[in-house]
Structure 1
């Protein structure tokens, strides 16, 4: 049985570097013991002038990543 993509959490918080917001995503879920477990942590995906654009890009990227792997 494959996990539902709704059982994953996406943290799209960008980092600030060289005057831009670097989009990246951390995808996590709960482990068998209830603790938070990282599933995937992307590298830098793209740079943006605006924080909200970096967040939206990272969230969309992570949703697509989950869709490809878990349907």
Structure 2
């Protein structure tokens, strides 16, 4: 099953460390008043030379995490 919802937001922005891009994901949700709160933070997942690879890794991790809990 694949998770599909606009309720959760995934921020896969990598951070730069030691010349590499560290993949990590922030999953958040919006409250009724429009403010956001964190649902899950991945921590560092893996290091990549290419920024887009780090983003893809983080998105994949987040989707799998959401599928496992809400799929």
Once superposed, which parts of structure 1, at least 4 consecutive aligned residues long, lie more than 3 Å away? Answer: none
Structure 1: how far apart are the matches of 2:67 and 2:6?
11
Between structures 1 and 2, the one with greater helix share: 1
SS in 2 for 1:6: coil
TM-score (norm 2): 0.88
**What residue is the counterpart of 1:11 in the other structure?**
11
Long gaps (5+) in structure 1:
none
Q: How many residues align?
A: 68
Long gaps (5+) in structure 2:
none
**What residue is the counterpart of 1:43 in the other structure?**
43
Structure 2: how far apart are the matches of 1:6 and 1:61?
17
TM-score (norm 1): 0.88
